[in-house]
Amino acid sequence: MFKLEEKLRPHLLALQAYSSARDEYTGKEGMFLDANENPFEWEGLPGVNRYPDPYQQKLKELISGIKHIEKEKIFLGNGSDEAIDLLIRAFCEPGKDSIIILPPTYGMYEVSANIHNVGIKRIQLNSNFQLDSQRILVEADDKDKMLFICSPNNPTANLIERKAILDMLRQFKGIVVVDEAYIDFAPEGSSLIAELKNYPNLVILQTFSKGWGMAGLRLGMAFASAELIRLLNKIKPPYNINLLTQNAAIKALSKPEKLNQWVGILLAERQKLQEALQTLPYVERVYPSNANFLLVKMAKAREVYHYLLDQLIIVRDRSKVILCDDCLRITVGSSTENIALIKALENYPKQ
């Protein structure tokens, strides 16, 4: 039986969380002389003189409706990067514990672990970019407190097989974090969110930075058991989501059709870009994608990268990343951007 209190760092059990002014008085009415705020308002920036809702209740209500998940199972972070950082802080003892990552994958799991002096066990994806459950189970030991699975994976763009993730949820002894940053670009039903009720060791990360088009707001979501979310709330900085971000996201969430519209356009563009890239003589392979980017294997990837850079077309050089030799990672842009990219690539190496 999974018991959260046995997994988290022992000193956190007794941690007294900071009690903010807005924790102590949660009413909306009254004269607020309790938080040492400035009573004067900025013109054009209503409300920024006051601290924001520390638990983002209104925003979570909207997310709860859209994602069909109880408010108590939602944590909001200053980007999902904040959730990654807090999860490592919650479960891994510096200098002692470690996380398991599955390269090639998103770089922040490793960076966050390094910041906290937490060990990193790397268990490479297989040549199909799928996880090797047997190897993970053989190599995992009691010090490995968390397993990070990125699905769709960055930079390989593919979903990790559901069955393999479920196997990990059943057999890995620690917390399994499934990073679904790109899930809006994957077929419907790909998310593991509905599995939360079955697996108390599951944490799902999603973000407003990709499909929702709000990378500049810095707003990420973690979904997990209410118990685990309470723990994250206890260790987070009190007002981690600023007022402007909360207000802007509330506004955006009242127009969910925008997400569908953008995702529809980007998926059609992804298809066109994929087909166009495949016709280029020096392109060896365009990997299938369930995300808003393509991993493209080509001769002389690094040269092509610099050729594009000279024309101020900036893609990501992944050619030195394990299993991604000779690969560039290309974000699907607008139709105009994609046409310009293809035109430039058709002219390579003629100059």
Ligand X SMILES: Cc1ncc(COP(=O)(O)O)c(C=O)c1O
Q: By CB under 6 A, is residue 215 in contact with ligand X?
A: yes
Closest contact distance (angstroms) between CB of 180 and ligand X is 8
Closest contact distance (angstroms) between CB of 81 and ligand X is 4
Produce one character per residue of 257-266: b if its CB has 16 or more CB atoms within 10 Å, e if not.
eebeebbeeb
CA–CA dist 79, 216 (Å, integer) = 9
Q: What is the number of other CB atoms lying within 10 angstroms of the CB of residue 151?
A: 28
Strands (E), 38-105: 74-77, 98-101
- Residues in 257-316 at the binding interface with ligand X, rule: CB under 6 A: none
**φ/ψ (deg, to 5) at 70:** -65, 145
Q: Which residues contact 176 (CB under 8 A, 6 or more apart)?
A: 146, 147, 149, 165, 168, 169, 199, 201, 202, 203
Closest contact distance (angstroms) between CB of 291 and ligand X is 8
Q: By CB under 6 A, is residue 81 in contact with ligand X?
A: yes
Treating both helix axes as pointing N-terminal to C-terminal, what angle do 243-253 and 57-67 enclose, rounded to 10 degrees? 30
Closest contact distance (angstroms) between CB of 148 and ligand X is 9
Tokens 């189970």, residue located: 137
Residue of 346, 323, 345, 342 whose CA lies nearest to 334: 342
- Quick one: 118 or 222, whose CB is closer to ligand X? 222
- Quick one: 144 or 179, whose CB is closer to ligand X? 179
Burial class (CB in 10 A: 0-12, 13-18, 19+), 188: exposed
- Quick one: 154 or 191, whose CB is closer to ligand X? 154
- Quick one: 177 or 276, whose CB is closer to ligand X? 177
Using the rule CB under 6 A, which residue among 106, 148, 172, 185 binds ligand X? 106
Using the rule CB under 6 A, which residue among 52, 104, 174, 220 binds ligand X? 220
Tokens 């030195």, residue located: 320
Using the rule CB under 6 A, which residue among 56, 191, 201, 209 binds ligand X? 209
- Residues in 154-183 at the binding interface with ligand X, rule: CB under 6 A: 154, 179, 181
Stretch that binds ligand X, among 74-82, 192-200, 329-337, 339-347 (CB under 6 A): 74-82
Stretch that binds ligand X, among 31-39, 77-85, 124-132, 274-282 (CB under 6 A): 77-85
**φ/ψ (deg, to 5) at 13:** -55, -40
Q: By CB under 6 A, is residue 207 in contact with ligand X?
A: yes
Q: By CB under 6 A, is residue 129 in contact with ligand X?
A: no
Name the residues that contact ligand X, by CB under 6 A.
79-81, 106, 150, 154, 179, 181, 207, 209, 215, 220
